[in-house]
Amino acid sequence: MGDWFSRILDDFIQNFITESRYTLIIQGFTVTVYVSFLAAALGVIIGTALAFASMSKYKALKLPARGYIDIIRGTPAVTQLLIIYFVVFGSVRWHPAVIGAISFGINSGAYVAEIIRAGILSVDYGQTEAGLSLGMTRAQTMIKIVLPQAVKNIFPALCNEFIVLIKETAIIGYVGIMDLAKAGEFIRSRTFSAFMPLLGTAIIYFIVIKLLTKMFAAFEKKLRKSDIR
């Protein structure tokens, strides 16, 4: 037991303490957080626009929106990342993390669009008719009556999409960006020890996602307080 503990401790020191390799984990974690939150914000903006466009009665809006959603959902995220990083922004001197966030935001937007669209359609049409009968315009009815109810329906799915997005950003290392997953892989390549750096990054991902899950659950509970059960 003592020898096993000593080996684990030595492995930990070699992978994280020696040459201050823990700083790579910190830097990688910072990049992961930055990319995830920026991508999530872009995803919500793009997704909201796509959701309303896909429900529009005008084909000039509906068809491009549906095409965008189908293409993004039908192709791998890593392929989209490579195309956007090396082709679309290949000659643009932006920070690599920003380009990566744009790629994930574009990807997430297609899924968020379907979440928002489903949430709006889940609200009974009688609510819209009630608003119109009160003299509201369709825009006022959507903003004041439909959307507040739809938010409660789509909030859990949006939270889940954000959690998936955090884990999905682990592929950003394909374009050489030092995120959390890439930092663990870099340490492994230096120490030739796979267990400790990979386990360490996995634990960090788990803790972050667990905390976010708890936070989202608490916020959802507050949203549901006004519901009549």
- Domains plus CATH for the chain? 28-178 (1.10.3720.10)
pLDDT over 70 at 65, yes or no:
yes
13, containing H or E segment: none
pLDDT level of residue 226 (50, 70, 90 thresholds): low
Quote the pLDDT of residue 15.
85
Compute, in degrees rounded to 10, the torsion defined by CA atoms 193, 197, 199, 204: 180
Residue of 26, 3, 22 lying closest to 14 (CA atoms)? 22
**Cβ atoms 176, 119 nearer than 8 A:** no
pLDDT level of residue 165 (50, 70, 90 thresholds): very high
Higher pLDDT, 223 or 60: 60
For residues 172 and 2, give the distance between their C-alpha atoms in angstroms, rounded to a whole number.
39
User: What's the mean pLDDT when you consider all of the chain?
Assistant: 89
Quote the pLDDT of residue 227.
59
**Cα separation values, 127 from 24, 50, 57, 140, 213, Å:** 53, 23, 20, 12, 31
pLDDT level of residue 195 (50, 70, 90 thresholds): confident
Quote the pLDDT of residue 14.
86
Residue of 176, 178, 183, 179 lying closest to 86 (CA atoms)? 176
pLDDT over 80 at 2, yes or no:
no
Quote the pLDDT of residue 112.
96
Quote the pLDDT of residue 223.
75
**Cβ atoms 128, 144 nearer than 8 A:** no
pLDDT over 80 at 70, yes or no:
yes
Secondary-structure breakdown of the chain: helix, strand, coil percentages, each rounded to the nearest 5: 85, 0, 15
Residue of 79, 54, 48, 43 lying closest to 163 (CA atoms)? 43
pLDDT tens digit string along 4-59?
A: 778 888 888 888 888 888 899 999 999 999 999 999 999 999 999 999 999 988 89
Q: Average pLDDT of 160-174?
A: 93
